[in-house]
Amino acid sequence: MKLDRYGRFISRGLRGDRSFRLILVLLVLSIAWWVLDAAGKNPGTRTGHVHAKDLTEISGIVLSRQNKKVIWAHNDSGDQARIFALRTDGKPLGVFRLEGTTAIDWEDIAIGPGPLAEKDYLYIADTGNNALSRRTVTIYRVPEPAVGTTATPRKQTLTGVEVLPMRFPSEPRECETLLVDPLNGDIYLVTRDRRERTKKVASVFHAPGPHKSGSLQTLKALTSFVPPASIRGGDISRDGRLVILRSHSLRPEWGALLWKRSDPSSPLHEIFSDEPTNLTVRSEPQGESIAFSPGGDFFFTVSEGSKAPIYRFEVP
């Protein structure tokens, strides 16, 4: 028996009416969202959704520069040592395992230069450190493979993976953001201070290139800044002039932070002393990934979750 707050019996019909009203309200809200989306009132454009059934906890993405309209992505901790290729509309193109690697807590992925000047390389950051127990983290580097955009999705094992161990200079850090300078291959890790209660502090650590596989590098702390929320991902444009970071803010207008670098040859960390441009993104409570298009005129975001939508935004 179901009673109201006055102790009166609530009939099944009345309960059914309440359920109907709730369903009606949700339906109206869904229609309103669809209308706003169709009318272009929401920021950005939905280009598709993730089709790969095993890609449900996306932690990092990067747009290929040699494979047209291809996104590289990976899951958060708990998955195998693999990356996924998908089109910008979400169609799966392949799953690529990294030979001789492990996936403790993969957090971000980037594209940058490497040993061979004519090739692009993928960098995968195994830098997650929720328990603050890892002083040494690992970056994996591998030549980017060619990917067909029309063929049946394929499975492949990538060989020749380089292991780039990095050590924080004083104490373990939680790091979810990897930046690779496209001009010189320098690696930057942006960490977040999990112990700070009153404000979110982001710190920037640097490992200058060139990088030698198996050679441990001690990261150098360069600077810190206070973002509106913890930093969960980032990217540098192909020409090195734009830097974007994903802020884990519940307010969409603080969801992405953009810096413009007037002189790409200047030290990258210096831009973080300037105020960024706040870019409004979609509401993605579990959104951690962000990346520029190859030309730097757009950026993309994808959230965690099954069949997560893929959004594209213009860079102002």
Secondary structure string (H, E, C) spanning the chain: CCECCCCCECCHHHHHHHHHHHHHHHHHHHHHHHHHHHCCCCCCEEEEECCCCCCCCEEEEEECCCCCCEEEEEECCCCCCEEEEEECCCCEEEEEEECCCCCCCEEEEEEECCCCCCCCEEEEEECCCCCCCCCEEEEEEEECCCCCCCCCCEEEEECCCEEEEEECCCCCCEEEEEEECCCCCCEEEEEECCCCCCCCCEEEEEECCCCCCCCCEECEEEEEECCCCCEEEEEECCCCCEEEEEECCCCHHHCEEEEECCCCCCCHHHHHHCCCEEECCCCCCCEEEEEECCCCCEEEEEECCCCCEEEEEECC
Q: What is the pLDDT of residues 126-179, one digit of tens each?
A: 999 988 999 999 999 999 999 987 778 999 999 999 999 999 998 999 999 999
The hierarchical CATH code for the domain 48-314 is 2.120.10
**Domains of the chain by residue range:** 1-41, 48-314
pTM over 0.85: yes
Q: What is the pLDDT of residues 179-216, one digit of tens each?
A: 999 999 999 999 998 666 657 899 999 999 999 999 99
For residue 21, pLDDT beyond 90? no
State what percent of residues in the chain have pLDDT above 90.
78
